[in-house]
Copies of this chain bind each other. A is one copy, B any other.
């Protein structure tokens, strides 16, 4: 399949954004982006109309987008408009003259794009999706990965800031209470919310900024906010902190973007109220949003268009982008998983399915760093793993995959400063993952798939690996012999290669 480029133009209340997605047979990624803070919805709450200035800014930006697509040869363009343009009485003044054909999404359609983004970038099967924009908020109930309720309210961060006067001065308790009451009253239309289940996935710039602020406050080592969970307690603390600050100072809270300083408090309170009403323990953050939803709807087959297995797809997507010797990589995974299963069979480790999946991911991604440079490619692989975010994996898992990849050549594995994300026993999980990846890499050192399989024998204190191959396994045996020390640490046994 040749590369396919799709430009998604998201004409929102607060900003217009053009994102180019490029898709090939095994991967997709964002490859370009143009952002313009159009604020076409400014003043809408008051007048019910788009202002003349707002329309002029919107039209100029649409022309830039159209011209950009034409000049860069992107034929597949999907421009969608949301809350502000949907709700304004005079929207035609923009739509009739826009240089792009624009689809105005209905409230339900907008909610559906957020749902597609969330369910294709997390493991959410049952629960709810919250998508907070400048103009509106969408909530979707999800059951068995299907959307069963799709709703939208004019509770966006810009609107609520304007309506409750939260953009100036410190926030009074009264104003905050009024906003909460307003949200609660609107959400009476969603009687399903308290019964939605345990999980709430959050989408949008407000959610991402709040997550970054909580990460900084908690001193969590950061690699983006994908998969991060904002606990209810942390959210409450952050709201209290923001309320005590002047708007300009809110933008100085580490993690909050200055451009969002005036909007962050109202947005945070809306989210906090949803969390309370729904009885959720946390908000799980995904970086995907409306634009990804529009892209997924075109890119993934099926109805609804869902990836079969988001975690698997994420790993294959990253591996596919760097495309490093797939035959080798897949054979390393085959050998490592074979060892994992045989060692579990022999009673040498628990053999949990989740650990096996971590090992698989580390195998598939261990060599992507050679794209940067061969020297230190284990470190570059870790950098790329952390920067890819791996939608569907939580941050603890991404950290474990990154550290396993980091130690796939040499050195004694350690948690690399990610202790705060870890659970009891994770140091041992990492040891096993790094070791089995290393052993598989050793056995496949000549990259020719000569060692087909490995038999594992346990005799007293010694674990013997017998290599099954059709030729001379000298290189494999030579390479594997150096793993004795780590093997002893991971399994408390001696390693022998037969």
Known contacts A31-B374, A61-B478; 10 additional CB pairs below 8 A are A29-B373, A30-B374, A60-B478, A64-B474, A64-B475, A68-B475, A71-B450, A372-B384, A373-B387, A376-B387
Chain A residues in the interface with B (C-beta under 8 A): 29-34, 60-61, 63-64, 67-68, 71-73, 370-376, 380, 383-384, 387-388, 445-448, 450, 472, 474-475, 478
Q: Which residues of B contact A60 (CB under 8 A)?
A: 478
Q: For A71, give the chain B residue with the smallest CB separation.
A: B446
Write the nearest CB–CB distance from A285 to chain B, whole angstroms.
15
Task: Among B61, B72, B387, point to the contact of A372 (Cβ < 8 A).
Answer: B387
Q: For A224, give the chain B residue with the smallest CB separation.
A: B375
Task: Among B30, B374, B472, point to the contact of A67 (Cβ < 8 A).
Answer: B472
The reply to whether B33 and A374 contact each other, CB–CB distance below 8 Å, is yes
Query: Can you report 28 residue pairs joining A to B where beta carbons are below 8 Å apart?
Result: A30-B374, A31-B374, A33-B374, A34-B445, A60-B478, A61-B478, A64-B474, A64-B475, A67-B446, A67-B472, A67-B474, A67-B475, A68-B446, A71-B446, A71-B447, A71-B450, A72-B446, A72-B447, A72-B448, A73-B448, A371-B371, A372-B372, A372-B383, A372-B384, A372-B387, A373-B387, A373-B388, A383-B383
CA gap between A33 and B410 in the complex, in Å: 13
The reply to whether B64 and A478 contact each other, CB–CB distance below 8 Å, is yes
Q: Which residues of B contact A64 (CB under 8 A)?
A: 474-475, 478
Q: Which residues of B contact A474 (CB under 8 A)?
A: 63-64, 67
Q: Which residues of B contact A63 (CB under 8 A)?
A: 474
Write the nearest CB–CB distance from A289 to chain B, whole angstroms.
13
Q: Which residues of B contact A380 (CB under 8 A)?
A: 387
Write the nearest CB–CB distance from A4 to chain B, whole angstroms.
16
Q: For A477, give the chain B residue with the smallest CB separation.
A: B64
Q: For A32, give the chain B residue with the smallest CB separation.
A: B374
Q: Which residues of B contact A448 (CB under 8 A)?
A: 71-73
Task: Among B68, B370, B445, point to the contact of A31 (Cβ < 8 A).
Answer: B370
Q: Which residues of B contact A73 (CB under 8 A)?
A: 448
Q: For A34, give the chain B residue with the smallest CB separation.
A: B445
Max chain B C-beta neighbours (<10 A), residue from A33, A73, A376, A478: A478
Q: For A375, give the chain B residue with the smallest CB separation.
A: B30
Task: Among B33, B61, B374, B445, point to the contact of A68 (Cβ < 8 A).
Answer: B445
CA gap between A135 and B291 in the complex, in Å: 62
Q: For A61, give the chain B residue with the smallest CB separation.
A: B478
CA gap between A68 and B478 in the complex, in Å: 11
Q: For A384, give the chain B residue with the smallest CB separation.
A: B372
CA gap between A291 and B156 in the complex, in Å: 62
Q: For A380, give the chain B residue with the smallest CB separation.
A: B387
Write the nearest CB–CB distance from A419 to chain B, whole angstroms.
23
Q: Which residues of B contact A472 (CB under 8 A)?
A: 67
6 pairs of A and B residues whose beta carbons are closest in the complex? A71-B446, A71-B448, A30-B374, A64-B478, A68-B446, A67-B475
The reply to whether A475 and B71 contact each other, CB–CB distance below 8 Å, is yes
Write the nearest CB–CB distance from A470 to chain B, whole angstroms.
12
CA gap between A446 and B475 in the complex, in Å: 51
Write the nearest CB–CB distance from A389 to chain B, whole angstroms.
9
CA gap between A495 and B387 in the complex, in Å: 36
CA gap between A450 and B60 in the complex, in Å: 19
Q: Which residues of B contact A31 (CB under 8 A)?
A: 370, 374
CA gap between A448 and B475 in the complex, in Å: 50
Max chain B C-beta neighbours (<10 A), residue from A29, A68, A383, A450: A68
Q: Which residues of B contact A67 (CB under 8 A)?
A: 446, 472, 474-475
CA gap between A373 and B61 in the complex, in Å: 25
CA gap between A16 and B373 in the complex, in Å: 21
Max chain B C-beta neighbours (<10 A), residue from A72, A446, A448: A446
Q: Which residues of B contact A475 (CB under 8 A)?
A: 64, 67-68, 71
CA gap between A237 and B29 in the complex, in Å: 51
CA gap between A387 and B371 in the complex, in Å: 11
Write the nearest CB–CB distance from A417 to chain B, whole angstroms.
18
Max chain B C-beta neighbours (<10 A), residue from A370, A373, A448: A373
CA gap between A204 and B33 in the complex, in Å: 45
CA gap between A447 and B34 in the complex, in Å: 13
Write the nearest CB–CB distance from A10 to chain B, whole angstroms.
15
Q: For A379, give the chain B residue with the smallest CB separation.
A: B387
Write the nearest CB–CB distance from A193 to chain B, whole angstroms.
32
Q: Which residues of B contact A374 (CB under 8 A)?
A: 29-33
CA gap between A71 and B469 in the complex, in Å: 13
Q: Which residues of B contact A372 (CB under 8 A)?
A: 372, 383-384, 387
CA gap between A445 and B376 in the complex, in Å: 34
Write the nearest CB–CB distance from A455 to chain B, whole angstroms.
21
